[in-house]
A and B are shown apart, each in its own frame.
Chain A
Amino acid sequence: MMSPSLSKALDFIRANQNSDGGWGYRPRCQSFTEPTGFCALALFSGGDKTAAGRALDFLKACQKDNGAISLDPKDTEGSWMAYAALLAFHALGAASEERRLKDWILSFKDASDRFTPADIKAIAATLHYDASIPGWPWTPNTTAWVEPTALFLIALIRAGTPLTQDRIRSGISLILDRKVRSGGWNFGNPASMSHKLEASLMSTAIALAALAAAGYPENRPPVEDGLRFLGRCLAGEVSTASLGWCLLVLKSFSSEASRVQGIAARLAGLQAADGSFRRNLFETALAFLVLVDPGALLRIPGRNG
């Protein structure tokens, strides 16, 4: 049963739905696909099918003829935010839009086939990663990075794409290839020349969530090292969004079960009197989902199959 305070999170989301059916990151701001997808999931999870349905109309308005989803209805280009629309289409049963979007995401290309062998060699020597591995970029035909790759993996897997699908497999390979030597992930460069770069918490949490979604074994070094990095970060100051992603990760790996309650309480403690988390619609929806219905984002072992 939902606590009264989390019910207030839904009230905050509902109260800030724009007339176009979508949400911005902040109240009274321009609607975008990412916050709209997450707010739709949260409202649907909380039983408000009417408001979620209006959000679905906004997301459908963002879909182009080729199935791509842009960041808002006016933009003409497919966007990384499509991952959030796929999660929402899947949960809300928009089967036709979901199928077209999945096809587009699977054809959404990065720059891996634009690099020459010399480029790939140069990148391996300087940035210490394999640029030939296809993943997902933030914008079409540019370099693939850790977070968009992980976000698309999470959405595709949640929407039932087989783990054996080529793009899923290469996406996982990319994440493993880009890990930082000291444990965890950053935006996607493990090193720069002779300098080893550092991991960052949000990138690490999202990468771990993708590996969890893919059923990657938690006793392998990339996950173990990532979880250790995550644990070190959680001992210090952590942002609301990172804490949300971290809680999703902790709920996804059985070895982390003992930490779930404490981190959930810490996240819940960030809720403001108006029901929001930092007056940010995306973060409020993310917090609601990871606290109440993480299965909307990831299949959690033992909870939703």
Chain B
Amino acid sequence: MKGEPMTRRELIRALGTAALSAFPAAAFTAGRRQPEKRQAAGPILRVALIPCSDYEPKSLLEAIRAGWRLTRPPDVNSKRVVIKPNIADFAANRPIHTHVRLVEALILHLRELGAREILLAEGPPQNRDSEWLFQQCGFEAMARHRSVPLIDLNYDNIRSIKNVNPRATLLRDLYLPETILSAEVLISVAKMKTHKLAGITLSLKNMFGIVPGIKYGWPKNTLHWNGIPQSICEINGTIKTHYSIVDGVVGMEGHGPIMGTAKKTGVIVMGDNALSVDATAARIMGIDPARVDYLAMAQRIKLGFLRRENIDVTGERIENVRTDYVLDSEFSFLRAPNG
């Protein structure tokens, strides 16, 4: 079938994505469950940018240790830690998912730090065959080898909690898995990718995967009808990610998050504030984070900061690792100016 060219706005509307204006700027001032402590005037959020050229276990463990040391990570000693990788789908020739060895390195690091319990948890968004996905992506074998439970969040026990956005509609009562609700420390390990509907997908968008399929389906289409930026902000406003890691060793450019092509970037981005981690990762991809609607919305509702002056980037300089990702033409407006 051949159609006429269409604008991104038309496509998003057609896919049931609601208007972007329904989120009140002050939504979280009173209601956020785990308020950000560093929201005082002039906060500086710290993000580590660690070069890592390959997925060799030794390089990855060293990178994780370095990034952890350079940032303000949560205390994991004696805690129940849940790791949320991105396993959106599997294809042998495309880097769709977080590399399993990066997650394995993180597990080893958390054990060194005395984590009481470590769980791996993901709810794949569109392919309901999680057993097959976890096998193909290497997570099942790794989890068994490291004696870490691998939880399919799509079929977990669930409980509804109040969305912190008082104007929430479709997600007013947000059903979430017990594994996530009972986590003492939640760590996102996302993949650096472009996204055909959201522009880019990093730590904040990775949280779509905590929403259970048994309630919201495959794909989690209720989140689309609710508005993708709106849903990203409502989920991340209601559930705090305590630490975020973005796998940019090899990312995905073009028609991500599934059908794009590999992009070697050689970097891991880490920090305790998901928004500032994502803003930094976006800059590495050659994208102006302020032009990504959900990142701008997240800043507006005080989930963190995306401005350069609020982020202390340690480790490597962004300019030294910037690798412009190919964007679908509908998202060409996201491109950051050079320099």
Contacts and interface: CB of A to CB of B under 8 A. Distances in A.
Given A192-B259, A197-B259, A239-B135, A187 B129 contact: no
B144 to A, nearest CB: 13
Interface stretch (B41-49, B218-226, B245-253): B218-226
Contacts of A200: 127, 129
A225 interface: no
B155 interface: yes
B124 to A, nearest CB: 10
B128 A202 contact: yes
Interface string A129-168: 0010000011101110101100000000000000000000
Contact of B196 (A139, A148, A192): A192
Given A32-B214, A122-B14, A241-B129, A142 B1 contact: no
Contacts of B157: 24, 29-30
B13 A187 contact: no
Interface residues of A, number: 54
A111 B225 contact: yes
Contact of B221 (A115, A131, A137): A137
Interface in A73-92: 75, 79-81
Nearest to B91: A198
Nearest to A196: B259
B169 to A, nearest CB: 12
Interface string B149-180: 00000010110000000000000000000000
B10 A192 contact: no
A273 interface: no
B15 to A, nearest CB: 7
Interface residues of B, number: 39
B216 interface: yes
A238 B219 CA distance: 21
Contacts of A24: 157
B132 interface: yes
A251 interface: no
A280 to B, nearest CB: 8
A207 B123 CA distance: 22
B217 A137 contact: yes
Contacts of A186: 126-127
A195 interface: yes
A30 B44 CA distance: 43
Interface string B1-22: 1111010001101111000000
A128 B3 CA distance: 9
A119 B132 CA distance: 34
B128 A115 contact: no
B112 interface: no
B217 A138 contact: yes
Contacts of B196: 192-193
A81 B129 CA distance: 17
B16 A128 contact: no
Interface in A33-81: 34, 71, 75, 79-81
A278 interface: yes
A240 B131 contact: yes
A122 B3 contact: yes
A202 B217 CA distance: 15
Contacts of A139: 215-217, 221-222
A141 B18 CA distance: 14
Contact of B13 (A80, A119, A143, A192): A119
Interface string B85-112: 0000001000000000000000000000
B136 interface: yes
Interface in B194-248: 196, 213-219, 221-222, 224-225
A30 B158 contact: yes
Contact of B255 (A111, A119, A124, A193): A193
Contacts of A123: 14-15
Contacts of A122: 3, 6, 10-11, 13-14
Interface of A: 24-26, 29-30, 32, 34, 71, 75, 79-81, 111, 114-115, 118-128, 131, 137-139, 141-143, 145, 147-148, 186-187, 192-193, 195, 197-198, 200-203, 237-242, 278
12 contacts: A75-B215, A122-B10, A126-B3, A138-B217, A143-B224, A186-B127, A192-B196, A201-B129, A203-B127, A239-B129, A239-B131, A241-B131
Smallest CB-CB A-B distances: 4 pairs: A125-B3, A138-B217, A239-B131, A122-B14
